[in-house]
Amino acid sequence: MTRTSHAQPLTRRRFLEAAALAGVASAVGGLPAVGLAQGLRPISASHSVSTFVYGQHLVAAQKKLFEEEGVKTPDFIVPGGGAKVVQALAAGQVMFALGDSNHPLKITEKGKDALMIFATDTRCSYANIVARKELFDRGVKSVEALADQTLVGRKAVVAATAIGSGTYVYGVYVLKNTKAADGKTVNDHVEWVGGGASTTMLGGLKAGKFDAIMAVPEWQSAAVGEGFGQPIYDIADEKSWNRVFGGPIPVTVGYVLKETIEKSPDLVQAYVNACYRAQQWIRKAKDEEVVDLLHKPYMDTFKREVVLDSVRYYRTIFDWDFLIEEKDYERGMKVWVPTALDKPIPYARAVDMSFVKKAQAKYKS
């Protein structure tokens, strides 16, 4: 596990390996700093990659919002994968984590209660499906068409980053909830494989090894831009998302062990306040302002236009109020069980919205 300072630049490979880019929102200006020179209490936090998917952490660090809430800006643990973030939090190596909503549920399922304390988005940015351009031109222009072997030429090979990963969980759900011509689900007609990271996922699609891939927005843009792929399911289209998922789902969440809430509620509140204020800052900031703040310290190996496109994309799926509604959580549970979890976990055991509500009351925008 590697420790990465919040100001350390990111490689292109690690940027593209992010399961999704999540959004950041608008801020409250002119708020007084609290104890910046001294008396700051330490906290620790983790996210898998320092990209816009976890922008709340990055903005809160760059805008010094953690310090204004009386805690030190964390030296974020950035291990390059969500599973390692889960391990770090479950082992007590970090206090707070920002990642997939499956993660705290998996910790709870293994016997140590973890709680979601806010949500940053309402749709899964890595549930996009991109087909080979050759197949698209041949007529595979929809998820349903993946089940047609006369068009595909074989049982369609669909790649997730890994079997059991977030891309797999959401991809399986899309295919299971899409009917093929014979009345079975599309998922009954495909072969799932692990495609790895950006190079192997895109390379496999380009070479014809995969007929379709689950894709984060950057991969989708790269496949289209280089002419070897075409999206057949794009979550940026709210109607397409709702057709399969039925409405919003908390996909990216802040989470913490229940014992941390019990022992240090003040630190939890400070963490949530800082992240909430970061979300509100982005909501009101111009796209260019967000890029100015984050491009150089975190993503300077990428063209500015790439980061700008990410900001614009994620504005369409951000959860500005940070709240996890019970109906949205239950909608997500249909996705997570049984592919990611063995059985449902009640909302009351998995979610604590008290800290967000206090942040909202304190920082009304």
- In single-letter form, the type of residue at position 290 comes to V
d(CA 126, CA 1): 24
Q: Determine the average pLDDT of the residues in 11-22.
A: 39
pLDDT of residue 285: 97
Token representation of residue 234: 């794009």
Q: What is the pLDDT confidence band of residue 5, given thresholds at 50, 70 and 90? A: very low
Does the pLDDT of residue 123 top 50, yes or no?
A: yes
CA distances from 139 to 119, 171, 181 (A): 38, 21, 15
| Residue pair 213/159 in contact by the 8 Å Cβ criterion | yes
Architecture of domain 12-124+249-362: 3-Layer(aba) Sandwich (3.40)
* Structure confidence at residue 181 (pLDDT): 94
97 in Cβ contact with 86 (< 8 Å): yes
The CATH H-level (homologous superfamily) assignment of domain 128-234 is Periplasmic binding protein-like II (3.40.190.10)
Distance CA 326, CA 316 (A): 22
Most confidently modeled of 75-89, 162-176, 339-353? 339-353
Q: Retrieve residue 219's tokens.
A: 């991969």
pLDDT band at 299 (very low <50, low <70, confident <90, very high): confident
Two structure tokens written together for 247: 């409405």
Output the six-digit token pair for 110: 């293994």
pLDDT at 165: 83
Q: Do domains 12-124+249-362 and 128-234 have the same CATH topology?
A: yes
Count of residues for the chain?
A: 365
pLDDT tens for each residue of 198-240: 889 999 999 999 999 999 888 888 899 889 999 999 998 999 9
Any idea where the domains of the chain sit in the sequence?
12-124+249-362, 128-234
Measured between alpha carbons, how far is 71 from 95 in angstroms, rounded to an integer? 13
Q: Is the pLDDT of residue 16 over 60?
A: no
Average pLDDT (127-142) is: 97
3-state secondary structure of 142: coil
Which CA distances in Å does 276 have to 97, 191, 202, 259, 362?
14, 41, 35, 22, 11
More confident call, 109 vs 83: 109
pLDDT band for position 38 (cuts 50, 70, 90): low
Residue 33 pLDDT? 44
Residue type, 110: K
Q: What's the angle, vertex CA 230, arms to CA 226 and CA 234, rounded to 5?
A: 125
> What is the pLDDT of the chain when averaged over all its residues?
88
**Residues 6+ positions from 130 with CB-CB distance below 8 Å:** 205, 212, 213, 215, 219, 220, 223, 224, 229, 230, 231, 232
Whole-number percent of the chain with pLDDT over 70: 89
Nearest to 6, CA basis, from 67, 52, 74, 53: 74
Strand partners for 98 = 254
Enumerate residues 6+ apart whose C-beta is below 8 A from 138.
151
Name which residue leads in pLDDT, 70 or 11: 70
> For helices 102-109 and 82-90, what crossing angle results, to 10°?
40
Output the pLDDT for position 72: 97
Percent of the chain at pLDDT > 90 equals: 72
Of 2-11, 80-89, 350-359, highest mean pLDDT: 350-359
Q: Which one, of 67, 8, 76, lies nearest residue 47 by Cα?
A: 76
Please tell me the distance from the alpha carbon of residue 225 to that of residue 317, in angstroms, as a whole number.
23
